[in-house]
Chains A and B, each alone.
Chain A
Amino acid sequence: MAPEHAAPPTAPPPPAGPLLTMSGITKSFPGVRALDGVDLEVLPGEVHCLLGQNGAGKSTLIKVLAGAHQPDGGRITWGGETVALKSPIAAMRLGIATIYQELDLVEGLSVAENVFLGHEPTTAGFVVRGRTARTSAAALLARLGHPEVDPGRLVGSLSAAQQQIVSMARALSHDVRLIVMDEPSAALDPDEVDNLFRIVAALTADGVAVVYISHRLEEIRRIGDRVTVLKDGRAVAVGLPARDTPTRDIVSLMTGRNVEHAFPQRPQPVGQTSAAPVLSVQGLARQGEFEAIDLDVRPGEIVGLAGLVGSGRSEILETIYGARRPTSGHVVVDGNRLRTGSVRAAVRAGIGLAPEERKAQALLMLESVTRNVSVSTLSRFSRGGWIDRGTERSAAQQATRKLSLRPDRPEARIRTLSGGNQQKAVLARWLLRGCRVLLLDEPTRGVDVGARAELYAVIRRLADEGLAVLLVSSEVPEVLGLADRVLVLREGRLVHTAPAHELDEHRVLDLVMEGSPAA
């Protein structure tokens, strides 16, 4: 499966010491410990793959490496010397370049201007007009196998793959010794991926080290030298051989739980309720995101959607909720077809969403718990627009108490709460509204491991009371442990449906990664 042109150097890396070592790196954000003592060692000229599920700490780690986040603790050495990466510029000066998933290019500037942004070739302190920059940029682009990209063109007019090449040219315009690539293949066609691998091989042949992040195991086998696996903010395996470690082992390292969560008991007739579905999604599709999605959720049932990032999970939930307009298909609640693309229609029909990005999409961070909970139900507490704040407060408090939200102080500012309690406030909002269908997008993201079990119990309790729950999670054990029925999603299509107790983690991971039921 490895084409000849992408064959990495077979000789072991030069015996020189490691280019980079990170040891015991810790980093916390309010409410969550993102890195909990991570070690990483990168040799000159190797492709070092970083693997881990969402939330394992990969992004935080590479941001520390890029100087964008300051670690709380730990030690970083570069070529044997201890260094502090105080800023992105400091990292760049050492020769560390990062190519982020969301490319950080300025669309209104030309290719050449982007490549040399911040270090334009100048004479006497003045920016030299175009020519030098354009010639050098053209040389870099040719070296990257894309001589057809005109350095004078605006970056905004380029394709995603070309933009990525520009980003790489920018990295190479510095004297770079380590390039971090965050899922570089995610937006690429297969032959573009081949070109990417050719570039990586050429770089490493020059002694440049590459830290390569990808979800696709087959890519790691093709170009990787060694693998470090992250899980829950820790490195669970450091420097495994990329080609010889069995997939099974890597998968269990990625998913193996340090803490076994107590998942609540399922009600006895598992997934066998004969009641009519509350939520019924028929032929829902959105161009380029997902297609032909059919699913039903019955009262009291928790249905889980499992899939990788980019498989369309969140997009499906947001489309059901009306926050995105489908290109075809529709959503039916209690037999009534909803107007598509209208959040208000969905909310009125009794759908509630706990979105993936809690702070950006759900919470009013400057406001109190009560106001965050009551925001979707204001007219129930008001007459002629006049809010009865006593009723509002006590009703909101009753909802938050039912979910054991702590602290039990309605005036507490929402931002002072932990991630788990903030999530409970979002759930309380929909509980208060009396919604019948709950869409949960990564409900335990940013929630401490210890607080998750309680959240699981809350979700199960809501289902037992008759809510229909549709759950999306990138953590397979969460879907398997919490849901009654699991739908497996790969690249925007449903590839498998089964009761949760008939599936296990390996099987689901095989399905989401390989797409073939034959494991």
Chain B
Amino acid sequence: MTHSDVSDASEVKPQDGITSPPHKSGRRPLGLRLDLRNLSLLGVLAVLIAVGGITKPDQFLDTGNLQLVLTQASVIGVVTVGMTFVIISGGIDLSVGAIVALASVWATTVATQEYGFAGILFTAVIVGTACGLVNGVLIAYGRLVPFIATLAMLASARGLALQITGGTTQIVTVDSVLDLGIPDAYVLGIPPLVLVFALVTVVGWLILNRTTFGRRTVAVGGNAEAARLAGIDVRRQRLYLYLLSGLCCGIAAFMLIVLSGSGQNTNGNLYELDAIAAAIIGGTLLTGGRGTIVGSVLGVLVFTTITNIFALNNLQSDVQQIAKGAIIVAAVLVQRRTVRDEHA
């Protein structure tokens, strides 16, 4: 994906004086900035933490609880990073939850477990990526609408996962995998899964903001026709994007195996909705062309924190669902106002 674009300097010489040494541009280091939207999400998160701290001071701020919140956020967070890329490109991936399920059960069959840690990790990642490849080929070259292609993948991957397990829970017996989940493995008090999430976030941010791949993703989502006429291979880009989403699902499946010590065909249930919702409240335009990794990660953290606070306060999941729905609507209304202001 790195040397795939149309330009190759050997064939087409630049016009005189156009290429020049880079000059110091005196910009922010790394160009990192939190835009208004992300700041407001940070504000929401701060309010939530305050609410948690006030309502259940002992339980919410407990180290173990915070570690739990972050760990739960990590699995869905990795999926959300992949989803963010897909949505920025103007697509959608409804199959992420099903892919996580399929990858997690395939990686925990008795046969796979014989290969130990590496076998489980490898299988989860390969199965996820392969599903993404199928999605990508169908969408980019089969010209299926992303909604349809990934809906079909959702159904078949879940079905295959059920077929593999027969509905049973596949217990993981490989100790080296299970050990990643216990407090002894924490690095400076941070669970390894959270570190994986952090790594995926940083890499995702770099890809989106600093590479040709990221630039082309935004271009395809912002104006696919203009991207095509500018010489970008739009179809190949789409293929890679669904592949990337599948890869993230594979990683998340492995994390889920570590977390639950098992593989089940019901894993990853409704992840697609959580991931889409997190990306949307994080400011990613569902129509494509704009979105940030930071926003999506904040979206995930907001959702996970709400769930935790509600659980600690003994509010049932029905109330949680209603609250999540309200937050999605509120976030999109705020965004629409922001976008309109920018266009004015």
User: With contacts A343-B228, A371-B215, A379-B212 known, is A399 near B18, CB below 8 A?
Assistant: yes
Contact with B along A120-132 (1 / 0, CB 8 A): 0000000000000
B residues less than 8 Å from A361 (CB atoms): 223, 225-226, 229
Q: State which of A344, A385, A391, A436 has its C-beta within 8 Å of the C-beta of B212.
A: A385
Q: Give complex CA distance A432, B20 in Å.
A: 11
Does A69 interact with chain B (Cβ within 8 Å)?
no
A379/B232 in contact, CB under 8 A: no
B residues less than 8 Å from A349 (CB atoms): 11
Does A229 interact with chain B (Cβ within 8 Å)?
no
Q: Give complex CA distance A321, B6 in Å.
A: 14
CB neighbors of A among B150-192 (8 A): none
Q: Give complex CA distance A2, B48 in Å.
A: 79
Q: Give complex CA distance A402, B18 in Å.
A: 9
Q: Give complex CA distance A17, B203 in Å.
A: 73
Does B230 interact with chain A (Cβ within 8 Å)?
yes
User: With contacts A344-B233, A376-B231 known, is A434 near B215, CB below 8 A?
Assistant: no
B8/A348 in contact, CB under 8 A: yes
Does B205 interact with chain A (Cβ within 8 Å)?
no
Q: State which of B2, B23, B219, B343 has its C-beta within 8 Å of the C-beta of A382.
A: B2
Q: Give complex CA distance A25, B229 in Å.
A: 37
Does A237 interact with chain B (Cβ within 8 Å)?
no
Does A186 interact with chain B (Cβ within 8 Å)?
no
Q: Give complex CA distance A348, B11 in Å.
A: 8
Please list 21 pairs of residues, one from A and one from B, whose beta carbons are closer than 8 Å in the complex, sorted by A's number: A347-B6, A360-B226, A364-B223, A364-B226, A366-B222, A366-B289, A375-B215, A376-B6, A376-B231, A378-B5, A378-B215, A379-B6, A387-B215, A393-B25, A394-B21, A395-B19, A398-B20, A429-B230, A431-B15, A435-B12, A436-B12
Given A349-B11, A363-B223, A376-B231, 5 other A-B contacts at CB below 8 A? A348-B11, A387-B212, A390-B23, A399-B18, A435-B12
B25/A376 in contact, CB under 8 A: no
Does B216 interact with chain A (Cβ within 8 Å)?
yes
Does A388 interact with chain B (Cβ within 8 Å)?
yes
A375/B227 in contact, CB under 8 A: yes
Contact with A along B15-40 (1 / 0, CB 8 A): 10111111111000001000000000
Q: How many residues of B contact A (CB 8 A)?
A: 45
With CB as the reference atom, state the residue of chain B lying closest to A323: B229
CB neighbors of B among A404-432 (8 A): 415, 429, 431-432
Nearest CB on A from B235, distance (A): 11
Nearest CB on A from B277, distance (A): 22
With CB as the reference atom, state the residue of chain B lying closest to A431: B15
Binding site for A on B (CB under 8 A): 1-3, 5-9, 11-15, 17-25, 31, 210-213, 215-216, 218-219, 222-223, 225-233, 289-290, 343
Contact with B along A364-376 (1 / 0, CB 8 A): 1111000100011
Q: Give complex CA distance A142, B19 in Å.
A: 68
Does A18 interact with chain B (Cβ within 8 Å)?
no
Q: Give complex CA distance A435, B230 in Å.
A: 12
Q: State which of A376, A382, A390, A402 has its C-beta within 8 Å of the C-beta of B211.
A: A382
A residues less than 8 Å from B9 (CB atoms): 380
User: With contacts A343-B229, A364-B226, A376-B230 known, is A434 near B212, CB below 8 A?
Assistant: no
B residues less than 8 Å from A207 (CB atoms): none
With CB as the reference atom, state the residue of chain B lying closest to A351: B231
Q: Give complex CA distance A434, B231 in Å.
A: 14
B residues less than 8 Å from A360 (CB atoms): 223, 225-226
User: With contacts A360-B225, A394-B23 known, is A367 near B231, CB below 8 A?
Assistant: no
- 9 smallest CB-CB distances across A and B, nearest first, come from A390-B22, A385-B2, A347-B231, A391-B22, A434-B14, A364-B222, A378-B212, A385-B211, A379-B5
User: With contacts A344-B6, A366-B290, A431-B15 known, is A385 near B229, CB below 8 A?
Assistant: no
Does A362 interact with chain B (Cβ within 8 Å)?
yes
A364/B5 in contact, CB under 8 A: no
With CB as the reference atom, state the residue of chain A lying closest to B288: A366
Q: Give complex CA distance A371, B1 in Å.
A: 19
Q: Give complex CA distance A353, B218 in Å.
A: 21
A residues less than 8 Å from B215 (CB atoms): 371, 375, 378, 387
B residues less than 8 Å from A402 (CB atoms): 17-18
A433/B7 in contact, CB under 8 A: yes
B residues less than 8 Å from A435 (CB atoms): 12
Does A87 interact with chain B (Cβ within 8 Å)?
no
User: With contacts A361-B225, A375-B232, A379-B212 known, is A348 near B17, CB below 8 A?
Assistant: no
A residues less than 8 Å from B213 (CB atoms): 385
A363/B226 in contact, CB under 8 A: yes
Q: Give complex CA distance A186, B16 in Å.
A: 47
User: With contacts A348-B8, A365-B223 known, is A394 near B20, CB below 8 A?
Assistant: yes
A residues less than 8 Å from B225 (CB atoms): 360-361
B residues less than 8 Å from A399 (CB atoms): 18
A residues less than 8 Å from B20 (CB atoms): 391, 394-395, 398
Of the listed residues A343, A350, A355, A384, the one surrounded by the most CB atoms of chain B closer than 10 A to its CB is A343
A353/B229 in contact, CB under 8 A: yes
